[in-house]
Amino acid sequence: MKFHREGRTIISTTVIGLIIINLLIYKFFEQTGVLFSALPTLIILVLVLQFFRVPSRTVTETDGTVLCPADGKVVVIEETEEEEYFGDRRIQVSIFMSPLNVHINWYPISGIVKYFKYHPGKYLVAWHPKSSTENERTTVVVRHGSGTEVLFRQIAGAVARRIKCYALPEEPAVQAAEFGFIKFGSRVDVFLPLGSEILVSAGDKVKGTQTALARFPKESV
């Protein structure tokens, strides 16, 4: 199993910390104490390792189809006003990532990065209605070859307090290539043109790069 580079420090710190704790337990409680600490130690280690795992996935790039940018659960599908970049009505699809999900974020479409901005902010729970405008977040817009633009936003949650985004303005974006990572539970919002065909439903569990999220309006392809 491969592990993400964003987890190197946390994995190393966790392993060293667990070793020290178990050595201290052995010193003061000998084998009895180690027997009691073995299961919690294993659980903590497995949770940290699985969080930073890098899944092996085969992806077929599909023009005009928007792929899910993250693993998780669809929690919002609604028409809303997108004020930061478009200044008009868009279809918002939000994916909530629990601490048990893979937390890599992937480009949902191919094109050129036309906009990027990092916003410092609060750490409301990721499903809070105001988290998309008040929490720490990044906003990325990719312009597809057809001219259609898709905005996606990484949002920190109450636990996730570190967002990494690798997107840079005017650089190519390749569908299903990695563009960022969010640590420990968070959310990704995707803003699509009105008329897009939404291919998921609220409550669906989705996989980044594997689940088709939507198709562009026919007139834009």
Direct distance between the N- and C-terminal alpha carbons of the chain, in angstroms, rounded to an integer: 38
Residues contacting residue 183 through CB under 8 Å, at least 6 positions apart: 6, 10, 51, 103, 160, 161, 162, 163
Closest CA to 175 of 220, 217, 144, 137: 144
Q: Is the separation of the CB atoms in 59 and 10 below 8 Å?
A: no
Q: Is 12 a catalytic residue?
A: no
Question: Distance between CA atoms of 13 and 49, rounded to whole angstroms?
Answer: 12
**Annotated active-site residue in 94, 131, 186, 196:** 186
Give catalytic residues, as residue numbers.
Answer: 186
